[in-house]
Structure 1
Amino acid sequence: MHNDMVALFTQTFSDSEGEAEGKTIGSLVSDLLNTTLEQDLQGFVTKQGERLIAGVLFTPLRFENGEMGYLLSPMATLTEYQGKGIGQALINFGLEHLKQQGVELVFTYGDPNFYSRVGFQQVTEAQFKAPHSLSYPHGWLAQSLTGELTPIEGTSSCVQGLDSPAYW
């Protein structure tokens, strides 16, 4: 499954963002799968037969005051399957799973137009500090799984695989 996940993300991001970005995101996924503690990694996939066609990973985002949310990153749906609601359904499945585990907050860093379709809204670093400076502040998004978004003071930290300014 590990190699299939890396291949899924590499191919999807190569198609949309170019080969270099595909390799970068493929390496990110490999790092997340290899360095994240099992209890800190929530991964979900969609398959057609034996072929992975979509995948999403969630990892903890911890704040210095002890509060914790999860970070949705990365997410990919193979190009030929995009636009059919597969990615949205997979994200919603993952969010529901997290909610059932008592998770209250989920963050992501990506396209607001896409992620707003699954309940995310733009937030600022004044409301929720990202682990690193954001190169695209409009892409910092959050969702409460239990009600309203209440800002959290202080810094945040993510798992080792995402803990590089290059991803932010």
Structure 2
Amino acid sequence: MQLSAPASPEAKPISQLFQTAFTDAATAEEGTLVAGLVTALLAAPAEAHVQVFTAQQDQALTGCILFSPLHYPQDTRRVALLSPVAVHPDWQGKGVGSALIRFGLEQLRLDGTEIAVTYGDPAYYGRFGFRQVTAQELPPPHPLSQPAGWQAMTTADTSTDAASFAPLQGPCTCLQPFDDPALW
């Protein structure tokens, strides 16, 4: 498996991967929604700092994750949102998603991002050092429909407690594709 941060990720195959993965896991409507979100994130200008990491096997796209910045104007720390994550149904359960997340978190650390945030299954993301946080510790861009899914970790030295960090000062803003209360 080859993990990389492609210099210019191709939007169509990546969006198709998300469409396939989310349709398989949920519904065609969910697949279309997430594929549209990914297409918008990939179309963001370079200064938006969307980071894309892919997994390939035999030149076939098997997985992809995206990180985009969360801005806390009253706080100097760099924060990135891990979302969305997709692994092709034929490759699920084979470590592709885990490898991508670990690779992406390491790239964030090397890039100087201090805190990674996600909004998903605590049992899954807890394996990587994420822990549930409150809106007081880390204000989200919009009210959360599933507060237990709001999780964060520091990307600092992994020999320390990766889940510990001082609360961030809100309010928080996100990139336009995520600036939809229905996503939260």
Measured against the shorter chain, the TM-score band is over 0.9
User: How far, CA to CA, are the matches of 1:53 and 1:32 in structure 2?
Assistant: 19
Structure 1 range deviating more: 79-88 or 137-146: 79-88
User: How far, CA to CA, are the matches of 1:112 and 1:21 in structure 2?
Assistant: 20
User: How far, CA to CA, are the matches of 2:47 and 2:86 in structure 1?
Assistant: 21
Matches within 5 A, 1:19-168: 19-38=28-47, 40-67=49-76, 68-146=78-156, 147=160, 148-168=164-184
Structure 2, unaligned runs of 5 or more: 1-9
Normalised by the length of structure 1, the TM-score is: 0.95
User: Of Structure 1 and Structure 2, which has the larger fraction of its residues in helix?
Assistant: 1
Structure 1 runs, 4 residues or longer, greater than 2 Å off? 35-39
Partner of 1:16: 25
Contact 2:71 2:79 in 1 (8 A): yes
- 1:90 is matched by which residue type in structure 2? L
CA apart distance, 1:50? 2.2
Paired residues in the alignment total: 168
Structure 1 range deviating more: 130-139 or 141-150: 141-150
Q: Secondary structure at the match of 2:43?
A: helix
Contact 1:131 1:156 in 2 (8 A): yes
Normalised by the length of structure 2, the TM-score is: 0.87
- 1:166 is matched by which residue type in structure 2? A
- 1:155 is matched by which residue type in structure 2? P
